[in-house]
Every structure is written in C-alpha cells, then in structure tokens.
Amino acid sequence: MDTKKEFMEGVRGGIPIALGYLPVSFTFGLIAVSGGLPVWVACLISLTNLTSAGQFAGTSLIFAGAGYMEIAMTTLVINLRYMLMSLSLSQKLDKTVTLLDRMIFGFVVTDETFVVGSLREGKLRRPFLFGLILLPILGWNAGTILGACVSSVLPMALQNAFGIALYGMFIALIVPTARDSRNVLIIIIMAVTMNCVLTYLPMFAWISSGFRIIISTVFGAGLGAVLFPKDYSDEEMEVQ
C-alpha cells in the first residue's frame, strides 16, 4: 500500500477524535484560566501532557496546593491505563516502525487513538500512525487556546455548562463497555461507592482528592482482578 494513501487513512481516523476533543480541551482552557493560570501556562499543559483526565486532575491539584509527590502519584494512577494500551499497541506495530517513531507516537497514545489503532486490521505502519495523531494533537491544543482566551468573556451560564464536557466524554467511554460486561459494571460501581464513602464520610475528610482517586481505583480494579480474573490463554495461543 502506498505511503500517501495510508497516511490519509490515518488522518481520516483522527477526524472524529479531534472533534470530540474540542469541547473537552475548550473546557480545560476555560477552567485553567478561570482558576488563575495565565493563558500560556494552560496551553503549555495541553501541549506537554495531551491527556484529558490526567491534566484536569493535575491542574486541580495545583490549584489545591498539593505536593509534588501527590501530583506524581495521581498522574501515575489516572494514566496507568495508557501503559496497557501502549503494551497492546506495541504488539501491533510493524517491524519498520523505528525507535524514534515509537517515541513520537507514544506521546499521543490516548483512550481514543488506542481504540482506532487497535481496531484497524493488520500491522500499523509509520504513515498511518503519524496521520492518526496529527488532528487529535491540533484539536486538543486549538480547543485549549480557544477556551483559555474566551474564558473571561463567556457568559456565566455557558461557562457553567462547559464544566460537564469532560464527564460527558468519560461517560461515553465507559458506559458501552459496562453495558456489555457485568463484571466491568460491578467494578465501576464498587470503585464509585468507595469514592463516595471517602468523599462524604467526615472521618475521611483528611484524605485529599488525589489520593481518594488512587485508593478508589486500586480498590475497584484490584477487587475486580481477584473476583473476575480474565482468562488470557486463548490470546497466548494466538501469539505462539
């Protein structure tokens, strides 16, 4: 297959991703600037992090005056899912994809690029990978710049409404899987229940929001791993 065609296929895969990022990164710019960060710092965060949940959480921890260790730990747990996605994608990369290619593409492994990449048939080659990440990078940063710049002129009701954008995206990411898998649904409910307990019971008020997320996630996913360990034997047969 020729390089240009493959590149364009990647670009086409990135269009819906970039569109989905716009309202969310717009919200990020809005929140970051209205919380007191300069516009350029909001853009710097999007440019260097390129992750939804991780940078929202990290930024709110910065606002809360959290320590470096807490910021690092929270970022680690929230983004731990990328490790699995990268692991899975690394099995799908073509032999011609160099170390430098991997270091560039790795920067843009997100929930959405992972889904598009892993659903594509056959090995992933360089032109497709670079085509795929192009528009999501643009969309994420363009949305942030817009949100950061208009944050002060947007009417209050509209600013409030954008606050839900990130959660709308999260809900869209987890509900379809929870619908198909009872185990995943139970895990989500357990993790959220733990999070509510830690949030609302006064005796846990000393636990900061970052550690609340860490504890609840490890609790839910850990209990899930013990109660519903997946059987990977079929997959290993395939690899052999």
Tell which positions 41-60 bind another protein, by CB under 8 A. Answer: 41, 44-45, 48-51, 53-58
Q: 98: part of which helix (H) or strand (E)? A: none
Contact with another protein (CB under 8 A) among 124, 140, 143, 217: 217
**Burial code of 43-70, b = ≥16 C-beta within 10 A, e = fewer?**
bebbeebbbbbbbbbbbbbbeeebeeeb
Closest approach, Cβ 85 to another protein, in A, equals 8
Residues 138-197 contacting another protein, CB under 8 A: 156-158, 160-179, 184, 187-189, 191-192, 194-196
Q: Which is nearer to another protein, 11 or 214 (CB)?
A: 214
Backbone φ and ψ of 93, nearest 5°: -75, 140
Q: Which is nearer to another protein, 102 or 120 (CB)?
A: 102
Closest approach, Cβ 19 to another protein, in A, equals 5
Q: Which is nearer to another protein, 4 or 177 (CB)?
A: 177
Residues 53-112 contacting another protein, CB under 8 A: 53-58, 61-62, 68, 71-72, 75-84, 86-87, 89-91, 93, 99, 102-103, 105-107, 109, 111-112
DSSP 74-91: HHHHHHHHHHHHHHHHHT
Report the C-alpha gap between 94 and 117 in whole angstroms. 12
Closest approach, Cβ 4 to another protein, in A, equals 25
Please report whether residue 211 would count as binding another protein according to CB under 8 A. no
Question: Do the Cβ atoms of 31 and 148 come closer than 8 Å?
Answer: no
DSSP 108-134: G--HHHHHHHHHSSS-B-HHHHHHHHH
What residues form DSSP beta bridges with 93?
A: 124
Closest approach, Cβ 115 to another protein, in A, equals 10
Question: Nearest 5°: CA angle at 165, between 48 and 151?
Answer: 70
Q: Which is nearer to another protein, 2 or 148 (CB)?
A: 148
Q: Which is nearer to another protein, 149 or 223 (CB)?
A: 223
Q: Which is nearer to another protein, 45 or 145 (CB)?
A: 45
Which runs of consecutive H residues, i.e. helices, occur in the chain? 3-34, 39-49, 52-63, 68-90, 99-105, 111-119, 126-150, 156-162, 165-180, 182-200, 209-227, 233-239
Q: Which is nearer to another protein, 202 or 230 (CB)?
A: 230
Please count the residues of this chain forming the interface with another protein, following the rule CB under 8 A: 100
